[in-house]
Structure 1
Amino acid sequence: MTKQETVSISKHFTEAGLELIEQAVQDITFGSLTLVVQDSKVIQIEKLEKIRICDQQPKAASKTVTQVAVGAALRTRILQSVSGMEYGKVAIQIQSGQITQVERTEKYRVGKFMGLNGEGI
């Protein structure tokens, strides 16, 4: 992990928070994981798991080299997605145990405008 990634982790969430996200992604076969960002910090994780009756397969108990590489790539992608975000959400879509999409929705807080609706005139 680079120094820049370490700074990003401490700003947005802790190492334990990243491990929690990685574990949640590994546990979901079909569904999504949404990270809620407020004041530049991940404050909430929403986990939505869909259970498909026809696609039930036993999960492997041990981590493979591929899973470790995916974990590192996932960390990098999450850090990129939340970097610079003050308010918003990052949604990770998962299908068949694979991440298929990462969506970033950023919200901006706007102060009171002068002159809007006749104010300040």
Structure 2
Amino acid sequence: MRPEEGLQELLQQVLQQLSFGSVILTLQDGRVLQVEKREVFRLPYAASKSAAAASPDTEPVVKRILAALGTLAYGRMELKVQGGKVTQVETTAKLRGSDWQGMDGDGI
């Protein structure tokens, strides 16, 4: 199994199990090194109807996420989940010092 296939399966599993919270992917050298899952538990008086809904098919969402990961060499991607659906994706790209060489001098 290729690492990308394992990552796709892992993301699908985590997203299907998560009702509220976030999943954070940390990348280095274009590879996902770490996957964090932060789960939020809603109290009964604050629960919404969407929390009890069946988990949607996550495969199309995961494929789009993996495609977006392909453009990121260093950094992180945070997937916000509400009501069992990915509602927001935040990416933070990092540039290494060697990427700055030759710009207005010898680096930063």
TM-score over 0.5 for the pair: yes
Q: Provide the aligned length of Structure 1 versus Structure 2.
A: 98
Deviation at 1:76, TM superposition (A): 2.2
Gapped regions of structure 1 (runs ≥ 5): 1-9, 117-121
Change over 3 Å in CA distance of 1:114–1:91 after alignment to 2: same
- AA aligned to 1:49 is E
Shift of the 42–115 alpha-carbon distance from structure 1 to 2, 3 Å rule, reads closer
**TM-score, with structure 1 as normaliser:** 0.69
After superposition, the C-alpha distances for 1:25-81 in whole angstroms (9 at most, x for unaligned) are 111111000111111100100100000122286575xx7xxx33xx23212221222
More helix by proportion, 1 or 2?
Answer: 1
Shift of 1:15: 0.8
Deviation at 1:92, TM superposition (A): 0.4
Identity of aligned residues (%): 34
Of structures 1 and 2, the larger Rg is shown by: 1
| Length-normalised TM-score, structure 2 | 0.76
Match of 2:8, SS?
Answer: helix
Cα distance in 1 between the residues matched to 2:85 and 2:6: 22
